[in-house]
Chain A
Amino acid sequence: MHRALLSGLASIVLLVGPATAADAPPGASSCTGCHAPKKVADSVIPHINGRKAEDIVTFMREYRSGAWPSSVMGRIAKGFDDQQTQAIAAWFAAQPE
């Protein structure tokens, strides 16, 4: 009886387990369409995984204000406020380089 109960519980845990701990913050999963998780020989778009969060935030702020020129990042950075940008930056900083 205990066994049955335990395996019943196990299957529930399987379902409701800590699935969402690794949820990327809103917006981050779209960045990886251009910024590959690994350095790819075929891409000249800079690699940002494992970069310091504060550096990513600085880049995004300067792109947003136009202080740093960019082809596309200015148009993208304008879609994110400081708080959203910080969450995304922290997430990329925590990704393996």
Chain B
Amino acid sequence: MATRRHFLKFTVAAGLAPAVVSAQGKARVVVIGGGFGGATAARTLKALQPTLDVTLVEPNPIYTSCPFSNAVLANLREIDQQQFRYDGLKGAGVTVAQTSATAVDAEAKTVALADGNRLSYDRLVMSPGIDFNWGAIAGYDEAAAQKMPHAWKAGAQTVLLRRQLQAMEDGGLVVMSAPANPFRCPPGPYERASLIAYWLKIWKPKSKLLLLDAKDAFSKQRLFQNGWAELYPGMIEWVPLSQGGKVTSVDPATLTLTTEFGSHKAAVANVIPPQKAGAIAAQAGVADRTGWCPVEPVAFESTLRPNIHVLGDAAIMGGMPKSAFAANAQAKVCAAALVRLLAGEKPQEPILINTCYSLLAADYGISIAGVYRPDKGQLADVPGAGGVSPLVAVGGLRGQEALYASSWFHTIVAETFG
């Protein structure tokens, strides 16, 4: 519905006014955020339609990938192996504005930048990722994150958490807290617990990990719990919501986490706080009261503001989880749809795939997959497709999936950053 309405509006405008033709006769697309969604969208747009004028707005010269950052905590990778520059995008003809977007004017179709410039667009793509709901857990603010890192945006926080783990005495208690749904990377906290246990088992075998959870069920739960019993017996204790898992406040001075049932003092604390779409989304008027951005399921155009397309973690994508795989897949669909929309054509109905690999050890991988298509205004699971790795693995399957996980990572970053 929303697509059709926007689409009609667009064709009418295109027929009457030169609104879509800039001085050079090129259509202009601005992309906010150079992560898995935004960088893929910018590159794909240029590849599909080289005459488009594509500007990517991203403040950081180097992107640090969250996928595989849990392996950095376990000393299996170094942080610089997680880092990617924008030279590939520049080489592909994307203009990279190394600054933040500070305001979007959906009426005037302009984006104000922190460096004082202003960009106008025919279509805007936003993939700003997440921001944290600071204060949702009493006492957990940006200062507290220096003592109790979230490491849910990779980079300095990842390095900080790894340093804390390395400095911890053998026998120390690691406490993690995981948020309620929805949040970035549903299997991420459990992969992290696994890989921290992997590392503890080698270097601090007397230590344990307590995982306090604000929900009663999680992604690939039986696979994770079976794997924990097999690989790290007695090391990981998972506390669900109904047994007092929800952390309501923290004290960074004493590394104490307080739940509805009691308090836990940690040697190292990793607090993954509740999240929302990156702040620029609310400023642009594309986030709703949940903090996330509703979009239609064909071109991911905002249902709140026309000509703004939202991708990745920031968007409400129906059945699709918030993952790098999903953000990249959505970006490719969005880019193809934009090329059509800018040509006054109707985008085709897409089908999308998501697959999230998780490592439980260096050579132990599992996965969850899904196939999605538009249904009743949402991206919905194609019935009968998708699912998780089998509970009983035969023929070295876990080792194979660990290899496929790293293959996927190399492929996706090459496709995203060039």
Chain A residues packing against B (C-beta within 8 Å): 7, 10-12, 14-17, 19-20, 22-24, 26-27, 29-37, 40, 42-45, 71-72, 75-80, 84
Contact residues in A for B21 (Cβ distance below 8 Å): 11-12, 15
Contact residues in A for B328 (Cβ distance below 8 Å): 33
Contact A71 B407 (CB under 8 A): no
Contact residues in A for B397 (Cβ distance below 8 Å): 71
Nearest to B411 among chain A residues (CB) is A36
Contact B411 A33 (CB under 8 A): yes
Using known A-B contacts A17-B51, A34-B411, A78-B384, determine if residue A71 contacts B404 with beta carbons closer than 8 Å.
yes
Nearest to A8 among chain B residues (CB) is B25
| B48-72 interface bits toward A, Cβ cutoff 8 Å, 1 = contact, 0 = none | 1101000000000000000000000
Contact residues in B for A29 (Cβ distance below 8 Å): 329, 332-333, 336
Of the listed stretches B160-168, B175-183, B345-353, chain A binds B345-353
Nearest to A27 among chain B residues (CB) is B351
Contact B389 A30 (CB under 8 A): no
Q: What bracket does the count of chain B residues touching chain A fall in?
A: 35 or more
Contact B351 A26 (CB under 8 A): yes
Contact residues in A for B343 (Cβ distance below 8 Å): 15-17, 19-20
Using known A-B contacts A19-B48, A33-B329, A33-B415, determine if residue A79 contacts B353 with beta carbons closer than 8 Å.
yes
Contact residues in A for B385 (Cβ distance below 8 Å): 75-80
| B194-214 interface bits toward A, Cβ cutoff 8 Å, 1 = contact, 0 = none | 000000000000000000000
The CA-CA distance from A10 to B25 in the complex, in Å, is 8
Nearest to A29 among chain B residues (CB) is B332
Contact residues in A for B25 (Cβ distance below 8 Å): 7, 10-11, 14-15
> B248 on the interface (CB 8 Å rule)?
no
Contact A36 B350 (CB under 8 A): no
B414 to chain A minimum Cβ distance, whole angstroms, is 6
Chain A interface, DSSP helix/strand/loop, else mixed: loop
Using known A-B contacts A19-B343, A45-B411, determine if residue A76 contacts B369 with beta carbons closer than 8 Å.
yes
Using known A-B contacts A30-B332, A33-B329, A71-B400, determine if residue A79 contacts B351 with beta carbons closer than 8 Å.
yes
A-B contact count (CB 8 A): 138
The CA-CA distance from A30 to B400 in the complex, in Å, is 21
A19 to chain B minimum Cβ distance, whole angstroms, is 5
Using known A-B contacts A22-B48, A32-B415, A75-B386, determine if residue A45 contacts B349 with beta carbons closer than 8 Å.
no
Name the one of A16, A23, A78 contacting B336, with C-beta atoms under 8 angstroms.
Answer: A23
Give me 15 other A-B pairs in contact (C-beta within 8 A), A15-B343, A16-B345, A33-B411 excluded.
Answer: A11-B25, A14-B51, A15-B21, A17-B51, A20-B336, A26-B351, A26-B373, A30-B352, A30-B354, A33-B328, A36-B410, A37-B415, A43-B410, A45-B411, A71-B401
The CA-CA distance from A11 to B349 in the complex, in Å, is 28
Contact residues in B for A19 (Cβ distance below 8 Å): 48-49, 339-340, 342-343
Name the one of A15, A26, A36, A37 contacting B27, with C-beta atoms under 8 angstroms.
Answer: A15
B411 to chain A minimum Cβ distance, whole angstroms, is 4
> B387 on the interface (CB 8 Å rule)?
yes
Q: Would you give 21 A-B contacts (Cβ < 8 Å), ordered by A?
A: A14-B51, A15-B344, A16-B343, A17-B343, A19-B339, A20-B339, A22-B48, A30-B329, A33-B328, A33-B411, A40-B407, A40-B414, A71-B401, A72-B355, A75-B385, A76-B353, A76-B371, A78-B384, A79-B351, A79-B386, A80-B371
Contact residues in B for A78 (Cβ distance below 8 Å): 371, 382, 384-386
User: Among the interface residues A11, A22, A35, A40, which one has the most CB atoms of the partner chain B within 10 A?
Assistant: A11
Contact residues in A for B410 (Cβ distance below 8 Å): 36, 40, 42-43
A2 to chain B minimum Cβ distance, whole angstroms, is 17
